[in-house]
Amino acid sequence: MKKHKTTFGYEIKEIYTPEDLKDFDPEKELGKPGEPPFTRGIYPNMYRGKIWTMRQYAGFGTAEQTNERFRYLLSQGQTGLSLAFDLPTQLGYDADHPMSEGEVGRTGVSISTLNDMREVFRDIDQAKVSTSMTINATASIILAFYTIIAEEKGASREKLSGTVQNDILKEFAARGNYIYPVEPSMRLVGDIIEFTAKYMPKWNPISISGYHYREAGANSVQELAFTFADAIAYVEEVLKRGIDIDEFAPRLSFFFNAQINFFEEIAKFRAARRIWYKIMKYRFKAKNPKSMRLRFHTQTAGSSLTAQEPMNNIIRTTIEALAAVLGGTQSLHTNSYDEALSLPTKESVLLALRTQQIIAYETDIADTVDPLAGSYFIESLTNEIEEKVMEYLEKIDSLGGAVEAVRIGFFQKEIEESAYNYQKEIESCERIIVGVNAYKTENAQNSDIEIFHLPEDVQEERIRKLKEYKSKRSKDFLKYLRILKEKAKTSENLMPYIFDAAKNGATLGEISDTLREVWGTYDELKT
């Protein structure tokens, strides 16, 4: 029997009345859009002033194939780019490394050299388009590649806008794409934040990600709590360098999941803004209101997509996109209906983009700011989520903060328990998944669904290009790798030296290997 409760176990009542908000102070807890505590949105007119950025996540195979997909999406009205990288790129291996075998171009584009990045952004004006790059352990190298090729085209780094994810703590706790031990990994995060604050004022140096916690099985409260705990750790990492909070905090950004629990997700986004405002104002004593505004990208939930009856995923994604918009997101990716089966096809990703465009331009959803404000249910749920998140943050503080909580496995255990309970609900039919545990179409076939197939020769083509690149470069890169190695032994910011190595021909794998020689790698089994 279906239970009426949220993902974090809050019992949803049959009806909500003013009694549920008797201690609620609208002026204090709501305010106006664009004003503290930003519950109702970070800008006064929100989507009446500017529609959220439509940023479809893309990237596969070779640089040329990804460039073709990018230019196609831009031609169809996409307003921002979002780049996916394959596992070797994320883990610091070139395409010709033995560890890359079988994974080149599979989960994203393969990037080993500056030439690869040049090809990805061929005929794309980087000064005019915002680019988000989902990269963490090698974020410093990817940012260097991206910036160098933009400058070659005449775009100064000061004018570039975009984001590198650069959120390594969630990799240790939920995703696994880390390279170095925790301490040097945190150093690199801080290096990027410090560097961009000085030289790339329009760039978001980090996208602190709750999305992957949620995809791993966390509930909505855990998603916010673990994300904000990570954010606190990153802020402290930069503050200990002697940098003022208001010099870098305005460019911190976040990345959240939009699940199928419609009202819960809307309340989560509203609570998140209020929580971040309080953290920045009272914990870190920020003075600039921009430091207290929570700017976030949203992606609809990959974990909600089903391989069974995949066309149902169109409806799921639409509902999740609506929750993100009603929750006040600044940027949105809508998943394609076939993603439980393969990488999305050109046709399915276009339909996903059209979903956003229909919401934005054919409905009245964007006409007014925070239209659900004042709802007894929404405000009660927003308050409940905020209270539960604050309890988690107190617990994490008592453990020594996010780094220590990750090190001892606290986040991991909490997520595992939440994921287990969620699966039990599905198996007992307490949670209905249409087409999976209820209302199943007998003998349903997916044979009429077009499946994306990656060309078989991707790895061979990438190795050939890499060999050609290495044969034509000078030996200057070796000098710059030696300098980087020596600087890695100090506490200096490494970004200028990574730029120098990249500019002089070093590959992503060579730069990563140089840092591996100094720092070693993280072994979860030994922690």
Cβ partners under 8 Å of residue 243, min gap 6: 194, 197
| Residue entry with tokens 């794409």 | 177
Q: What is the pTM of this model?
A: 0.96
Helix, strand or coil, per DSSP, at residue 81? strand
Do 58 and 69 meet the contact criterion of CB atoms below 8 Å apart? yes
pLDDT, residue 451, reads: 81
Domain boundaries, the chain: 18-427
What is d(CA 28, CA 378) in angstroms, rounded to the nearest whole number? 16
DSSP conformation letters of 163-212: EE----HHIIIII----S-HHHHHHHHHHHHHHHHHH-TTEE--EEESHH
- Is residue 371 reached through a cis peptide bond, with omega within 30 degrees of 0 on the bond before it? no
How would you write the pLDDT of the chain (527 residues) with one tens digit per residue?
567 899 999 999 999 999 999 888 888 889 999 999 999 999 999 999 999 999 998 899 899 999 999 999 999 999 999 999 999 999 999 999 999 999 999 989 999 999 999 999 999 999 999 999 999 999 999 999 999 999 999 999 999 999 999 999 999 999 999 999 999 999 999 999 999 999 999 999 999 999 999 999 999 999 999 999 999 999 999 999 999 999 999 999 999 999 999 999 999 999 999 999 999 999 999 999 999 999 999 999 999 999 999 999 999 999 999 999 999 999 999 999 999 998 899 999 999 999 999 999 999 999 999 999 999 999 999 999 999 999 999 999 999 999 999 999 999 999 999 999 999 999 999 999 999 999 998 776 666 788 887 777 889 999 999 999 999 999 999 999 999 999 999 999 999 999 999 999 999 999 999 999 999 999 876 65
pLDDT for residue 453: 78
CA dihedral angle for residue 38, residue 207, residue 144, residue 194, rounded to 10 degrees: 60
Please identify, in words, the CATH class of the domain defined by 18-427: alpha beta
Question: Which two three-digit tokens encode residue 49?
Answer: 């002033």
pLDDT value of residue 457 = 85
For the chain, give me the number of helices (H) and strands (E)? 20, 10
Angle at the Cα of 489 from the Cα atoms of 488 and 491, rounded to 5 degrees: 80
Q: What was the pLDDT predicted at 446? A: 63
Q: Evaluate whether 182 touches 406 at the Cβ level (below 8 Å).
A: yes
The 3-class SS string of 45-60 reads CHHHCCCCEECCEECC
Query: Cα(199)–Cα(427) distance, rounded to whole angstroms?
Result: 52
* DSSP state letter for 92: T
Cα–Cα distance between 296 and 470 in angstroms, integer? 39
Q: What is the distance in angstroms between the CA of the first residue and the CA of the last residue of the chain? A: 42
pLDDT at position 452 is 80
Q: CB–CB of 238/194 below 8 Å?
A: yes
